[in-house]
């Protein structure tokens, strides 16, 4: 079942409220990565061609319900204007009389960007009155913010009950790619999971065990699996409370005949800022050391397994890739995923950042813009911002 598409909406002359995900990485009020703006452009272009009067709204950062000067939307509106080569208005408020007036005066194909939705505490509270204020600005609602769809907020959920609601093109592309992964993936299907903590991803692993042929585990979360195997991991980051759950997953995988690949060698150091690491077997981790990456043998084994897959889902780096001495594992996996044939899907803010830094993002079938949302989707959870949009064509 697919969601009702913005393509099927008759938008000519209509005011269309579009929830976008412009939650960009910023430094000192400057945009450091505009991927999420670019990802919203197909929907914006479609609406402009259709003659809609366009109202864009997003959150940015964590202003905790108050106005925060360096989290204003204006620099993003300016950047969008440059990308589109068309005027983009920026409001300094979210709702209220002045915004009503500007929204009401929009000409066909004109664009207004509202102020940061999270400047108002009622956004995250999914407050009914705030949702009604947002809805009063427009005739139709489009959700193109897949990255925020796992949250039931006024702009992602509440408003969709009050206006005819449609899914934007980015939202549809995300649902299509991730839905296909779970329902119609070509075999062999390998999932690669890494990142700091196993607690973030136990649910995903549980759901994926019913779908995949193999699971490749790296990053800090592998340490808890190594504990479950009875290995000594020195002073490494781990969640000993979850070792029993990790053991249960290993047993379930074994019963189902699913390969779980865990590191056989690792890169260790005293702390993550060390100038260099030492490669050791997982049976020889010194008591005072910490594991910060997968080792050379493991890199080669993982790359070989990845090259045999027809479908790949990757979430989470293999080590502390931000620091060059511990980046080799993540680089090796990124390169193997980029080289692999078949379908590759990568989600997760840090994994996507690693791919981009390596210049490999365009060799991936689908790079998800939604870190947390893509994980919850793959976990099998219903996303409130998706559930509220009617099914349709
Ligand atoms: P993503 O954003 O791709 O979902 P996560 O946020 O789950 O990934 O995890 C990324 C973080 O995990 C990175 O900051 C990385 O430094 C950290 N990490 C990876 N491996 C280790 C490790 N062995 N020890 C400590 N931290 C790690
Ligand atoms: Mg992250």
Ligand 1 neighbour 348 (Cβ under 6 A): yes
Q: Does the pTM of the predicted model rise above 0.75?
A: yes
Active site residue 349: yes
Residues 6+ apart with CB under 8 A from 105: none
How far is it, in rounded angstroms, from Cα 41 to Cα 45?
6
| Active-site hit among 36, 53, 72, 118 | 36
Q: Write down the pLDDT at residue 27.
A: 86
Q: Would you say how long the chain is, in residues? A: 393
- In ligand 1, the atom with minimum distance to the C-alpha of 218 is 20
**3-class DSSP assignment, residue 127:** coil
Q: Ligand 1: which of 147, 221, 319 to mutate, judged by most atoms within 8 Å of the beta carbon?
A: 319
Burial of 187 (0-12, 13-18, 19+ CB in 10 A): exposed
pLDDT score recorded for residue 33? 86
List the beta bridge partners of residue 391: 3
List the one residue out of 89, 82, 61, 143 whose CA is nearest residue 384: 143
Task: Tell me the average confidence (pLDDT) per consecutive run of 10 residues in the chain, 393 residues long.
Answer: 94 98 89 92 98 98 95 97 96 96 96 98 98 98 97 98 98 95 90 92 91 96 96 96 96 94 98 95 97 98 97 97 97 98 92 93 93 90 97 92
| Contact predicate 234/291, CB 8 Å | yes
Q: Quick check: CB of 23 below 6 Å from ligand 1?
A: no
320 lines ligand 1 (CB under 6 A): yes
Alpha-carbon distance of 318 to 324, in angstroms, equals 13
Q: Is 329 in the pocket of ligand 1 (CB under 6 A)?
A: no
Is 48 marked active-site?
Answer: no
CA of residue 181 to ligand 2 center, whole Å: 21
Q: Which of 209, 210, 171 is nearest to 193 (CA)?
A: 209
For residue 15, report the distance from its CA to the centre of ligand 1, in Å. Answer: 42
Decide: helix, strand or coil at residue 168: coil
Indicate if ligand 1 lies below 6 Å from the C-beta of 225. no
**Please, where are the H alpha helices in 229-339?**
243-256, 296-307, 328-339
CA–CA distances in Å: residue 52 to residues 15, 16, 35, 55, 330: 6, 6, 24, 9, 44
Ligand nearest to the CA of 198: 1
Give the model's pLDDT for residue 371.
85
Residue nearest to atom 26 of ligand 1 (CA): 196
166: which residues sit within 8 A by CB, 6+ positions away? 3, 4, 5, 6, 8, 9, 140, 141, 142, 143, 389
| Ligand sitting nearest the alpha carbon of 372 | 1
Ligand 1 geometric centre to CA of 273 (Å):
15
CA 139 – CA 12 distance, rounded (Å): 11
260 within 8 A of 314, measured Cβ to Cβ = no
- Residue 97 CB contacts under 8 Å (≥ 6 apart), including other chains: none
SS3 264: coil
Distance separating alpha carbons of residues 130 and 17, to the nearest angstrom: 14
Q: Contact, 163 vs 139, CB < 8 A?
A: yes
Ligand 1 binding pocket includes 200 (Cβ within 6 Å): yes
Find the 197 Cα to ligand 1 centroid distance in Å: 7
- In short, whether 319's Cβ falls inside 6 Å of ligand 1 is yes
- Characterize the bridge pairing of strands 214-217 and 53-57: unpaired
Checking DSSP bridges between strand 265-269 and strand 278-281, what pairing results, if any? antiparallel
Ligand nearest to the CA of 220: 1
251 contacts: CB under 8 Å, gap ≥ 6: none
Note if 211 is an active site residue: no
CA of 321 to the centre of ligand 1 (A): 8
**Is-catalytic flag, 247?**
no
Q: Report the pLDDT value the prediction gives residue 185, as an integer from 0 to 100.
A: 82
């Amino acid at each position: 079942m697919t969601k009702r598409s913005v393509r099927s909406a008759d938008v000519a002359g209509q005011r269309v409220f579009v929830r976008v995900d412009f939650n960009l990485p910023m430094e000192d009020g400057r945009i450091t990565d505009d991927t999420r703006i670019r990802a919203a452009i197909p929907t914006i272009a479609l609406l402009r061609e259709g003659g809609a009067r366009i109202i864009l709204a997003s959150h940015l950062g964590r202003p905790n319900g108050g106005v925060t000067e360096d989290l204003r939307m204006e620099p993003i509106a300016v950047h969008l204007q440059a990308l589109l080569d068309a005027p983009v208005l920026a409001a300094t408020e979210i709702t209220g009389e002045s915004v009503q007036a500007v929204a009401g005066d929009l000409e066909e194909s004109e664009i207004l960007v509202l102020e940061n939705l999270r400047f108002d505490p009622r956004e995250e509270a999914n407050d009914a009155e705030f949702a009604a204020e947002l809805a009063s600005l427009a005739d139709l609602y489009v959700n193109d913010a897949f990255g925020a769809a796992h949250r039931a907020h006024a702009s992602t959920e509440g408003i969709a009950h009050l206006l005819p609601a449609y899914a934007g093109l980015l939202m549809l592309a995300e649902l299509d790619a991730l839905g296909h992964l779970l329902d119609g993936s070509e075999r062999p299907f390998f999932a690669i999971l890494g990142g700091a903590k196993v607690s973030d991803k136990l649910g995903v692993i549980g759901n994926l065990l019913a779908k995949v042929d193999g699971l490749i585990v790296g990053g800090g979360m592998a340490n808890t699996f190594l504990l479950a195997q009875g290995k000594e991991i020195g002073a490494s980051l781990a969640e000993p409370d979850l070792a029993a759950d990790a053991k249960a997953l290993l047993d379930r995988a074994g019963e189902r005949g699913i390969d779980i690949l865990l590191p056989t060698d690792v890169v260790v150091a005293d702390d993550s800022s060390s100038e260099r690491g030492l490669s050791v077997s997982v049976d020889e981790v010194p008591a005072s050391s910490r594991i910060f990456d997968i080792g050379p043998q493991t890199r080669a084994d993982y790359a070989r397994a990845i090259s045999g897959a027809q479908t790949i889902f990757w979430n989470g780096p293999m080590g502390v890739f931000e620091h060059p001495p511990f980046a080799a594992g993540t680089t090796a996996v990124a390169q193997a995923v980029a080289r692999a044939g078949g379908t590759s899907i990568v989600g997760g803010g840090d994994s996507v950042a690693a791919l981009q830094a390596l210049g490999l993002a365009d060799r991936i079938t689908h790079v998800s813009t939604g870190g947390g949302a893509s994980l919850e989707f793959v976990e099998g959870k219903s996303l409130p911002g998706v559930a509220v949009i009617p099914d349709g064509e």
